[in-house]
């Protein structure tokens, strides 16, 4: 996603944030509902209890006293009426007086009622007025009777009128009392009702609040948990399904959880994009050679396998695997520098692609993991090695023609950094299905054929020969076996005695390495030294020989045999090893005194390319009291370089020269010249390969100092040589 896309998306997100209903509001609403519910409940309960309290106060202070006063007034009215009647009948003045008191009390009760319940004032005043009339009439009647002044003619009429007034009074009071009584009952009922109403309202408010709270909390929690679970599910899916990042959380709602989900999805998208990019890059790096942008060995193998699979279904179709190695690339690289070497490799890659595909640019398929069927493939293995697949060939000749075209194209001169240079190419060709139908075998076959091309003088091509495979397999078998020779204890030394040619006395011996493998048999160094040199194991073998020679010298010393000079052979790699003196010193350990009995034989070969290091090593070895011999002098690469630059003690005349000494005049002259040169340089001479007495005599006559060969003794096993030593104990040349 581009930056602008991202900003747009961010803006979009800001809008989203503006319009969302935040989850916190939901949580806040829970608190608000809870608080509101509580206050509503509190307000309802408070107001209800205040009303109830007012009602109860009214009952206590008004309703009940009014009721009591009215009841009391009724009783008093009845008592007054009784007293007046009895006073009238019995002319009892005391009763009359008592009724006066009761009348005052009656009035007092009614006044109190009037005070408490002002609404009854008119009614009470009416009753009071009626009572006053009734009482005064009844009292006057009773008084007149007691005093005897009463005219009884109107008594009955007055009494009837009084009785009616009394009844009216009783009725009015009764009605008032009944009304008040009902009002009292209504107030009590109302108070009770209020109490239960308050309870009901309180309960309803509580229940409603609780339900509302539960609902909001449930919805909020559910939506949070649901989305957390969604995220957990998505993450688990990514984790368990080997990183399938196509999972997305649905964006429902617009709260914080949605925002979290949104960013989670965005993060996944980014991660997915980054993973895809890095996977593509890893794929590119895994399948491409970064210098030339050509497919590498891995990709080549993949293409080859898929092409073989495809050709399996076609009939009469041949495929050629070409293995190419540039000739003389190393000098160009060394002389012009590595950058120029890289440039040359790039041009070679272009020429190869152009030759087989007709394309000028080195480009590989964008999706490298998908080989294009039938298309020629050019790959770079490493260094100056390339490989090719040419598919759907009609015959072998077509492959040969392509190889020739390639050879011609590569031979064209190169101009790099203004300098002109040239390289050749050795090509090995292996054919499917004739040589093999296995990709790896086709590659190794082409590789072997390429070596054949190199061995045939380079800058040519060769087809794979099945016999090559057997030789290579044997080589590989040997290679693996040599590597195990030391740990398996398969090595031993042979000792070939050396003699003074003038008096025939034993003067020393040469230690010769033998490898005895239970399956492959016994090998002379000539059979495996080259391979050990190639696989880098040679120094280890030479170290072993040195250690073994020292062990034997020590053993013989312990047996009381006088130390005898032993010569041992160093390979070119060992002679030019930078840390040779250190290695020798470590091997000798506490037996350094035995080093004076050792002579190191070095053969001057083409492998010795750093003469300065060899020179240093020779000096160091001599400083450790060892002697140095030049082996196989007069044959191979022997020159005068080492002899002139290094302090050599002995020259060993090669057995090839010795052999011809009696028959070939030239050889005799060479040997004589070597001996004269050695005498001049004060270097001892040893002739090797003396096979008969005549050779021994001839060499003695030519003043060769020492000799070794089958004439004297074949190389002997250590135990045999120890016995040989004891037999010739007295014959050892003291001067040696």
Residues within the interface to ligand C2E (CB under 6 A) = 496, 512-513, 524-526, 529, 542, 545, 568-571, 601, 603, 631-632, 655, 688-689, 691, 708-710, 715
Q: Residue 532: which of ligand C2E, Mg ion, none does it interact with, CB under 5 to 8 A by kind?
A: none
Which residue, 143 or 569, has its beta carbon nearer to ligand C2E?
Answer: 569
E strands within 501-535?
506-517, 521-523
Max CA distance (Å), the chain? 215
Q: Residue 62: which of ligand C2E, Mg ion, none does it interact with, CB under 5 to 8 A by kind?
A: none
CB of 581 to ligand C2E, least distance (A): 18
Segment interacting with Mg ion (CB under 5 A) among 240-248, 348-356, 612-620, 625-633: 625-633
Which residue, 295 or 634, has its beta carbon nearer to ligand C2E?
Answer: 634
Q: Residue 156: which of Mg ion, ligand C2E, none does it interact with, CB under 5 to 8 A by kind?
A: none
- Gap between the Cα atoms of 94 and 76, Å rounded: 16
Segment interacting with Mg ion (CB under 5 A) among 370-378, 388-396, 472-480, 593-601: 593-601
Integer-rounded Cα radius of gyration of the chain: 66
Q: Which of 631, 678, 705, 715 binds Mg ion (CB under 5 A)?
A: 631
10 Å CB burial of residue 162 (0-12, 13-18, 19+) is buried
Nearest to 66 by CA among 191, 177, 185, 173: 177
CB of 374 to ligand C2E, least distance (A): 52
What is the x/- site pattern for Mg ion, positions 552-591, by CB under 5 A? -----------------x----------------------
Q: Could you tell me if 166 and 194 are in contact, meaning their C-beta atoms sit under 8 angstroms apart? A: no
CB of 559 to ligand C2E, least distance (A): 23
Nearest to 422 by CA among 491, 313, 489, 332: 332
CB of 243 to ligand C2E, least distance (A): 56
CB of 541 to ligand C2E, least distance (A): 6
**Cα dihedral sign for 508, 513, 517, 522?**
negative
Which residue, 371 or 497, has its beta carbon nearer to ligand C2E?
Answer: 497
Which string of b and e fits 497-519 if b means at least 16 CB within 10 Å?
bbbbbeeebbbbbbbbbebebee
CB of 289 to Mg ion, least distance (A): 45
Which residue, 525 or 563, has its beta carbon nearer to ligand C2E?
Answer: 525
Q: Residue 533: which of ligand C2E, Mg ion, none does it interact with, CB under 5 to 8 A by kind?
A: none
∠ Cα 62 67 69 (to 5°) = 95
687 strand-pairing partners: 653, 707
- Gap between the Cα atoms of 256 and 25, Å rounded: 10
CA distances to 352, 412, 420, 531 from 338, in Å:
21, 20, 15, 29
Q: Residue 558: which of ligand C2E, Mg ion, none does it interact with, CB under 5 to 8 A by kind?
A: none
Q: Residue 689: which of Mg ion, ligand C2E, none does it interact with, CB under 5 to 8 A by kind?
A: ligand C2E
Q: Residue 545: which of ligand C2E, Mg ion, none does it interact with, CB under 5 to 8 A by kind?
A: ligand C2E
Q: Residue 710: which of ligand C2E, Mg ion, none does it interact with, CB under 5 to 8 A by kind?
A: ligand C2E
- Gap between the Cα atoms of 62 and 56, Å rounded: 10
CB of 354 to Mg ion, least distance (A): 52
Q: Residue 107: which of ligand C2E, Mg ion, none does it interact with, CB under 5 to 8 A by kind?
A: none
Q: Could you tell me if 691 and 659 are in contact, meaning their C-beta atoms sit under 8 angstroms apart? A: yes
Which residue, 259 or 543, has its beta carbon nearer to ligand C2E?
Answer: 543
Q: Residue 512: which of ligand C2E, Mg ion, none does it interact with, CB under 5 to 8 A by kind?
A: ligand C2E
CB of 392 to ligand C2E, least distance (A): 51
Which residue, 96 or 630, has its beta carbon nearer to ligand C2E?
Answer: 630
* 81 binds Mg ion, rule: CB under 5 A: no
Q: Could you tell me if 387 and 379 are in contact, meaning their C-beta atoms sit under 8 angstroms apart? A: yes
* 601 binds Mg ion, rule: CB under 5 A: yes
End-to-end CA distance of the chain: 88
Which residue, 289 or 688, has its beta carbon nearer to ligand C2E?
Answer: 688
- Gap between the Cα atoms of 711 and 696, Å rounded: 8
Segment interacting with Mg ion (CB under 5 A) among 39-47, 56-64, 378-386, 623-631: 623-631
* 632 binds Mg ion, rule: CB under 5 A: yes
CB of 638 to ligand C2E, least distance (A): 12
Q: Residue 513: which of Mg ion, ligand C2E, none does it interact with, CB under 5 to 8 A by kind?
A: ligand C2E
CB of 710 to ligand C2E, least distance (A): 4
CB of 609 to ligand C2E, least distance (A): 17
Q: Residue 709: which of ligand C2E, Mg ion, none does it interact with, CB under 5 to 8 A by kind?
A: ligand C2E
Give one DSSP letter per residue of 448-497, joined into a string: HHHHHHHHTTSSSEEE--HHHHHHHHHHHHHHHHHHHHTTTT-EEEEEEE
CB of 656 to ligand C2E, least distance (A): 9
How many residues touch Mg ion (CB under 5 A)?
Answer: 5
Query: What DSSP state is assigned to residue 61?
Result: I
CA distances to 14, 34, 42, 195, 216 from 203, in Å:
45, 14, 11, 12, 20
Which residue, 20 or 547, has its beta carbon nearer to ligand C2E?
Answer: 547
Q: Decide the pairing of beta strands 461-463 and 716-717.
A: unpaired
* 599 binds Mg ion, rule: CB under 5 A: no
Secondary structure (3-state) at 219: helix
Tabulate helix, strand, coil % of the chain (nearest 5).
65, 15, 25
Which residue, 81 or 632, has its beta carbon nearer to Mg ion?
Answer: 632
Which residue, 109 or 638, has its beta carbon nearer to Mg ion?
Answer: 638
H/E stretch holding 686 reads strand 684-688
CB of 410 to ligand C2E, least distance (A): 38
Which residue, 568 or 651, has its beta carbon nearer to ligand C2E?
Answer: 568
CB of 519 to Mg ion, least distance (A): 28
Q: Could you tell me if 414 and 420 are in contact, meaning their C-beta atoms sit under 8 angstroms apart? A: yes
Segment interacting with Mg ion (CB under 5 A) among 160-168, 437-445, 686-694, 711-719: 686-694
Q: Could you tell me if 599 and 649 are in contact, meaning their C-beta atoms sit under 8 angstroms apart? A: yes
Which residue, 176 or 541, has its beta carbon nearer to ligand C2E?
Answer: 541
∠ Cα 517 522 524 (to 5°) = 125
Q: Could you tell me if 611 and 579 are in contact, meaning their C-beta atoms sit under 8 angstroms apart? A: no
Residue with tokens 């070794």: 708
Q: Residue 715: which of Mg ion, ligand C2E, none does it interact with, CB under 5 to 8 A by kind?
A: ligand C2E
Q: Could you tell me if 250 and 230 are in contact, meaning their C-beta atoms sit under 8 angstroms apart? A: yes
* 325 binds Mg ion, rule: CB under 5 A: no
Which residue, 138 or 571, has its beta carbon nearer to Mg ion?
Answer: 571
CA 613 from centroid of its chain's CA atoms: 47
**Token representation of residue 277:** 């990019």
Which residue, 123 or 601, has its beta carbon nearer to Mg ion?
Answer: 601
- Gap between the Cα atoms of 300 and 311, Å rounded: 16
Contacts of residue 387, defined as CB under 8 A and 6 or more positions apart, other chains included, come to 297, 300, 321, 322, 323, 324, 378, 379, 380, 381, 443, 446
What backbone torsions phi and psi does residue 731 show, to the nearest 5 degrees?
-85, -5
Which residue, 289 or 542, has its beta carbon nearer to ligand C2E?
Answer: 542
Contacts with Mg ion, residue ranges (CB under 5 A): 569, 601, 631-632, 688
């Amino acid at each position: 996603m581009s930056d602008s896309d991202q900003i747009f998306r961010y803006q979009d997100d800001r809008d989203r944030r503006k319009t969302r209903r935040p989850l916190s509001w939901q949580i806040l609403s829970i608190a608000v509902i809870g608080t509101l519910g509580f206050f509503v409940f509190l307000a309802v309960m408070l107001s209800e209890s205040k009303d109830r309290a007012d009602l109860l106060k009214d009952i206590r202070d008004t309703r009940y006293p009014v009721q009591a006063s009215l009841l009391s007034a009724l009783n008093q009215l009845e008592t007054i009426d009784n007293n007046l009647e009895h006073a009238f009948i019995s002319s009892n003045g005391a009763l009359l007086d008592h009724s006066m008191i009761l009348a005052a009390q009656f009035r007092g009760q009614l006044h109190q009622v009037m005070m408490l319940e002002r609404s009854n004032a008119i009614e009470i005043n009416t009753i009071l007025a009626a009572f006053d009339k009734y009482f005064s009439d009844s009292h006057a009647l009773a008084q007149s009777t007691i005093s005897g002044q009463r005219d009884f003619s109107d008594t009955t009429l007055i009494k009837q009128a009084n009785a009616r007034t009394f009844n009216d009074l009783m009725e009015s009071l009764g009605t008032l009392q009944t009304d008040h009584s009902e009002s009292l009952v209504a107030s009590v009922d109302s108070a009770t009702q209020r109490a239960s109403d308050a309870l009901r309202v309180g309960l309803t408010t509580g229940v409603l609040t609780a339900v509302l709270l539960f609902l909001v909390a449930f919805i909020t929690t559910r939506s949070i948990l649901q989305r957390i679970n969604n995220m957990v599910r998505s993450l688990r899916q990514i984790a368990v399904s080997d990183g399938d990042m196509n999972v997305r959380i649905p964006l429902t709602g617009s709260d914080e959880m949605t925002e979290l989900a949104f960013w989670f999805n965005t993060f996944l998208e980014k991660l997915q994009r980054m993973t895809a990019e890095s996977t593509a890059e890893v794929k590119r790096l895994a399948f491409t050679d970064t210098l030339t942008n050509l497919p590498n060995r891995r990709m080549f193998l993949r293409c080859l396998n898929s092409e073989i699979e495809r050709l399996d279904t076609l009939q009469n179709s041949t495929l050629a695997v070409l293995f190419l190695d540039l000739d003389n690339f190393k000098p160009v690289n060394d002389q012009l520098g590595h950058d120029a070497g890289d440039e040359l490799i790039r041009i070679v890659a272009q020429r190869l692609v152009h030759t087989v595909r007709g394309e000028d640019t080195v480009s590989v398929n964008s999706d490298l993991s998908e080989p294009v069927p039938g298309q020629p493939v050019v790959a770079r293995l490493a260094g100056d090695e390339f490989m090719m697949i040419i598919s759907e060939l009609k015959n072998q000749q077509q492959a040969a023609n392509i190889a020739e075209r390639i050879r011609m194209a590569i031979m064209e001169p190169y101009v790099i950094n203004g300098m002109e240079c040239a390289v050749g190419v050795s090509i090995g060709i292996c054919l499917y299905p004739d040589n093999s139908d296995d990709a790896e075998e086709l590659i190794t076959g082409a590789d072997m054929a390429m070596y054949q091309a190199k061995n045939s003088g380079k800058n040519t091509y060769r087809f794979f020969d099945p016999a090559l495979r057997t030789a290579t397999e044997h080589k590989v078998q040997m290679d693996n076996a040599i590597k195990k020779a030391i740990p398996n204890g398969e090595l031993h030394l042979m000792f070939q005695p050396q003699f003074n040619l003038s008096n025939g006395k034993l003067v020393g011996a040469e230690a010769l390495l033998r490898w005895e493998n239970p399956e492959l048999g016994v090998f002379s160094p000539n059979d495996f030294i080259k391979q050990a040199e190639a696989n880098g194991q040679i120094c280890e073998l030479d170290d072993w020989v040195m250690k073994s020679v020292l062990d034997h010298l020590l053993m013989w010393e312990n047996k009381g045999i006088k130390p005898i000079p032993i010569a041992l052979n160093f390979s070119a790699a060992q002679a030019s090893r930078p840390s040779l003196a250190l290695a020798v010193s470590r091997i000798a350990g506490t037996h350094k005194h035995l080093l004076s009995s050792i002579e190191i034989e070095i053969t001057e070969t083409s492998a010795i390319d750093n003469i300065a290091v060899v020179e240093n090593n020779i000096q160091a070895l001599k400083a450790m009291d060892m002697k140095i011999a030049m082996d196989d002098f007069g044959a191979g690469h022997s020159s005068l370089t080492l002899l002139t630059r290094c302090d050599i003690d002995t020259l060993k005349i090669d057995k090839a020269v010795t052999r011809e000494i009696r028959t070939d005049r030239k050889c005799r002259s060479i040997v004589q010249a070597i001996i004269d040169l050695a005498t001049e340089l004060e270097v001892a001479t040893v002739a090797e390969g003396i096979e008969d007495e005549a050779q021994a005599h001839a060499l003695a006559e030519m003043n060769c100092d020492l000799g070794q060969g089958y004439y004297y003794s074949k190389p002997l096993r250590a135990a045999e040589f120890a016995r040989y030593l004891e037999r010739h104990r007295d014959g050892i040349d003291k001067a040696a």
